[in-house]
């Protein structure tokens, strides 16, 4: 078992910043990108934070991510804009698009930014938290390379196309960050390394049976879409929408490029402060959560949490104790 160490968030962010500048990021961009990786780690999404950082710099090195690229506006239809990501850093482009969708929604009530030729945005939830804490509702999604079979199929022609839905809640937010596969490959690997079975079926084994064995699924690559035919259909529609709205690349075209880059993403923000019922909204949301929390748990193990509730705990724990990192992962990072 690798030893887990605790790194204070400030130290982690400084380290990320140092490395990104070494990899060609200008100071401001290095700071912003380091901040996103650090926040994702602080909030417990290590797979798209500290554990992904080295791979991110590798993509920069390979030329798939251009640290100097700025998003450029290709077309405006008013509240709907198309941008070109220039193969820039996904987290920076996605932050830009979130902010631009917010600006458009402040002007028009609702705003939509679609961006093509961008890169992996890391954690969908980051953009949801950002918009919601600024007082806006956000719906956003990305396509990916082909990593999931359609329902009833053997081979991967769909992306897991993560999606985020977010609304403000008290001084925090309710943020659903959800990919279209039932389990991420990272999760399957965590279970495999821990020698554990999945709690529910996550895909198919070589005999074509649904299984909870992570190794068998990793072998066939037949991961299960969430909700079987439902997640399969959602994935397809999200790909079509991100491709046509952005004028960018589809899952198929991204896959044909070999490594996952040049993604298409959509960001829709709504300015709820512009609505006639704006003063009633905080109570409306609190009442829904109050009722939701009043659900009877099926067992003592079950706690009925709203999406994003766990983030608050991770943020608090990791702020106090430092961010947990495998020592080998951290050693690799500081050697960059």
Query: The tokens of 86 are what?
Result: 């220039």
Kindly tell me which of 77 and 335 has the beta carbon lying closer to its own copies: 77
**How many angstroms from the chain centroid is the CA of residue 91?**
10
Chain residues 128-187 in contact with its own copies, contact rule CB under 8 A: 137, 139, 149-155, 157-158, 165-167, 174, 176, 178, 182
Return the residues of window 234-253 that contact its own copies according to CB under 8 A.
Answer: 234, 236-241, 243-245, 247, 250-252
CA 96 – CA 6 distance, rounded (Å): 31
294 binds its own copies per the rule CB under 8 A:
yes
- What are the angstrom distances between the C-alpha of 280 and each of 108, 110, 130, 145, 292? 21, 19, 22, 42, 19
Minimum CB distance to its own copies, residue 54 (Å)? 29
Q: Which is nearer to its own copies, 244 or 321 (CB)?
A: 244
- φ and ψ at 94, to 5 degrees? -70, -35
- Count of residues near its own copies by CB under 8 A: 85
Shortest distance (Å) from residue 227 CB to its own copies: 3
Select 35 or 157, whichever has its Cβ closest to its own copies. 157
- Tell me how far apart the alpha carbons of residues 226 and 224 are, in angstroms, rounded to a whole number: 6
CA 88 to chain centre: 17
Site string for its own copies, 33-72 (x = CB under 8 A): ----------------------------------------
C-beta closer to its own copies: residue 89 or 248 = 248
Q: Minimum distance from CB of 263 to its own copies (Å)?
A: 15
Around Cβ 228, how many Cβ atoms within 10 Å? 14
Nearest to its own copies of 15, 213 (CB atom): 213
The residue (of 157 and 192) whose beta carbon lies closer to its own copies is 157
Minimum CB separation of residue 75 from its own copies in Å reads 3
Which member of 68, 72, 227, 313 binds its own copies (CB under 8 A)? 227
* 48 flagged as catalytic: yes
**Do residues 81 and 102 make contact, with C-beta atoms less than 8 angstroms apart?**
no
> Which one, of 280, 144, 148, lies nearest residue 224 by Cα?
148
Residue appearing with tokens 């880059």: 261
- Are the CB atoms for 268 and 254 separated by under 8 Å? no
What is the C-alpha separation between 133 and 203, in angstroms, rounded?
A: 36
* Contact between residue 336 and residue 34 where contact means Cβ atoms under 8 Å apart: no
C-alpha span between 18 and 13 (Å, rounded): 9
Region of 46-54, 190-198, 229-237, 322-330 interacting with its own copies (CB under 8 A): 229-237
What is the nearest approach in angstroms of its own copies to the Cβ of residue 36?
22
Residue of 48, 75, 157, 293 marked catalytic: 48
Catalytic residues: 48
């Amino acid at each position: 078992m690798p030893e887990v160490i605790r790194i204070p968030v400030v130290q982690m962010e400084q380290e990320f910043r140092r490395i990104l500048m070494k990899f060609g990021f200008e100071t401001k961009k290095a700071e912003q990108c380091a901040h996103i990786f650090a926040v994702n780690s602080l909030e417990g999404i290590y797979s798209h934070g500290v554990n992904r950082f080295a791979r991110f710099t590798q993509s920069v090195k390979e030329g798939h991510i251009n640290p100097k690229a700025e998003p450029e506006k290709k077309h405006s239809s008013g509240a709907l804009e198309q941008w070109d990501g220039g193969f820039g850093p996904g987290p920076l482009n996605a932050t830009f698009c979130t902010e631009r969708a917010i600006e458009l929604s402040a002007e028009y009530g609702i705003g939509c930014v679609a961006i093509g030729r961008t890169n992996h945005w890391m954690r969908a939830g980051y953009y949801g938290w950002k918009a919601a804490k600024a007082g806006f509702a956000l719906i956003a999604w990305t396509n990916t390379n082909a990593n999931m079979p359609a329902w009833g199929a053997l081979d991967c022609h769909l992306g897991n196309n993560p999606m985020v839905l977010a609304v403000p809640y008290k001084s925090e937010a309710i943020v659903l960050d959800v990919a279209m596969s039932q389990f991420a490959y990272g999760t399957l690997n965590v279970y495999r390394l821990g020698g554990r079975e999945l709690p529910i079926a996550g895909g198919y084994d070589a005999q074509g049976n649904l299984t909870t064995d992570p190794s068998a699924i990793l072998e066939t690559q037949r991961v299960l879409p969430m909700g079987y035919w439902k997640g399969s259909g959602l994935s397809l529609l999200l790909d079509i929408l991100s491709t046509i709205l952005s004028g960018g690349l589809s899952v198929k075209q991204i896959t044909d490029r070999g490594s996952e880059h040049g993604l298409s993403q959509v960001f829709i923000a709504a300015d709820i402060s512009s609505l006639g019922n704006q003063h009633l909204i905080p109570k409306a949301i609190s009442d829904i959560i109050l009722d939701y929390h009043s659900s009877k748990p099926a067992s003592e193990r079950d706690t009925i949490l709203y999406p994003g509730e766990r983030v608050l705990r991770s943020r608090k724990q990791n702020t106090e104790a430092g961010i947990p990192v495998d020592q080998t992962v951290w050693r690799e990072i500081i050697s960059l």
